[in-house]
Structure 1
Amino acid sequence: MDTATRCRKCGRPLRNAKSIARGYGPTCKARIVAAAKTTDLSDYTPAQIDRAIEVIEMDAAIPTGRPNVLRIVSGDGSTSYLTTDQACNCPAGLRQRRCYHRATATILNAARADRAA
């Protein structure tokens, strides 16, 4: 039985070793990188942006089936937070502060919107 590794974003089979290692095909990876560069992230600190990119690369942002809502797994894997680019139920988000979870959602939702356009 052949089990293909699939792109985390679009679900297509990955064949290239480099794509398999990063979890994204070249087109999806390019969309995410472009979204990270072109999306307005000026409300976030550089550390939050770096952490958001790390979350994406670690595949710790899981779609929930609801539009633009992600479940973001914490760094130690013990907790997850429901997140959109407008709100998050993490401790910072509950205090109305911007968090790297929201930056992650902003980047991934922008990449998704670019694909739909």
Structure 2
Amino acid sequence: MDESMRQEIQEGLNVVELWNGVSKYIFYGKTGEITSNNEKVQNLSVKSLHLTQLSMVYINTIMIQQILVEYNLIGKLTEEDKRALTPLIYEHVNPYGLFPLDLEKRLPYIQYEVAA
């Protein structure tokens, strides 16, 4: 196997491992395992986990975009920098506490220019 193929496979595995790590972090109760034999409960657990993950990725993406704009970094990122960016971060999330949301207030919409 050539080096570029090996690197591509490794990068894919890293993404999967990161996604699984996020899953375990979010779904921490009962050691992260679905313990019910009831198919409806299992389905609800998995869908709840996916919804939570996707919501976290959405919020993280917005936060990363805001940081890139605020510090004028969009045009300064190298291809390697861009590959290293990921919204699959969770160190700022406290799974045991509250995640304050103001449902009366929308997240700010920022119009970004698309590079040609």
Q: Which has the higher helix share?
A: 2
Q: Which has the higher contact order (CA 8 A, sep 6+)?
A: 2
Q: Which has the higher strand share?
A: 1
Structure (1 or 2) with the larger CA radius of gyration: 2
Q: Same fold (TM over 0.5)?
A: no
